[in-house]
């Protein structure tokens, strides 16, 4: 998942745009069969969340680019916060969006610890982007998602 996360950010390996998000979310489809057919909407919700990206939220140390369009999750973030914290919340919310439906479904199927670990792994996206290089941040984000899936499975 770390390598696919980097690929979905435009890095290596080069995979056609669009296909990379479908592959990055594939572990949900492959490993969460315990939620039955609910795994299909969980998979597609993760793909849609991955395709939405994080736009202007990734560089914490710079102001928002003038004229940039707000991300969809920004309606949940107060404008009164410093830009750095707004960007951190953008990253946490877009990361959580990737894991929230699979996590909710796991919790409702009595895999509450697995679902909690998975949801937290998505929200940790904000921490990955503290790294100074984007490629390392993308690898770390994928590693967190992979650990969420792996440790979630170990807890079921």
CB-CB contact of 148 with 122 (8 Å): yes
More reliable by pLDDT, 79 or 148:
79
Q: What pLDDT is stored for residue 24 in this prediction?
A: 75
Q: What pLDDT is stored for residue 88 in this prediction?
A: 92
The yes-or-no verdict on residue 4 having pLDDT over 70 is: no
Per-residue pLDDT reduced to its tens digit, 115-145: 888 888 888 888 887 877 777 777 787 777 7
The yes-or-no verdict on residue 78 having pLDDT over 90 is: yes
Q: Is 54 exposed, middle or buried (0-12, 13-18, 19+ CB in 10 A)?
A: buried
| Continuous H helices in the chain | 2-8, 19-24, 26-31, 39-52, 83-108, 112-123, 125-128, 134-154
Beta-carbon count within 10 A of 37 CB: 8
Domain contains 67: no
CA distances from 127 to 30, 37, 76, 78, 111 (A): 27, 32, 19, 20, 26
CA-CA-CA-CA torsion sign (150, 152, 155, 156): negative
Q: What pLDDT is stored for residue 76 in this prediction?
A: 92
Domain contains 119: yes
Domain contains 49: yes
Q: What pLDDT is stored for residue 19 in this prediction?
A: 76
Q: How far apart are CA 23 and CA 43, in angstroms?
A: 10
Domain contains 92: yes
The yes-or-no verdict on residue 6 having pLDDT over 80 is: no
Domain contains 65: no
Per-residue pLDDT reduced to its tens digit, 35-63: 778 888 888 888 888 877 778 888 888 89
pLDDT band at residue 90 under the 50/70/90 scheme: very high
Domain count, the chain: 1
Domain contains 7: yes
Q: How far apart are CA 134 and CA 19, in angstroms?
A: 21
Domain contains 98: yes
């Amino acid at each position: 998942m770390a390598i696919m996360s980097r690929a979905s950010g435009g890095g290596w390996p080069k995979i056609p745009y669009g296909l990379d998000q479908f592959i990055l979310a594939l572990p949900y489809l492959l490993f969460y069969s315990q939620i039955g057919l609910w795994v299909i909407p969980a998979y597609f919700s993760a793909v849609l969340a991955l395709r939405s990206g994080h736009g202007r939220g990734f560089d914490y140390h710079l102001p928002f680019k003038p004229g940039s369009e707000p991300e969809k999750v920004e309606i949940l973030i107060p404008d009164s916060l410093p830009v750095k914290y707004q960007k951190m919340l953008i990253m946490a919310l877009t990361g959580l969006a990737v894991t929230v439906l699979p996590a909710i479904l796991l919790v409702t199927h009595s895999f509450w610890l697995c679902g909690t670990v998975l949801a937290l792994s998505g929200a940790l996206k904000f921490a990955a982007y503290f790294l100074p290089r984007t490629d390392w941040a993308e690898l770390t984000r994928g590693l967190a998602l992979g650990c969420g899936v792996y440790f979630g499975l170990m807890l079921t």
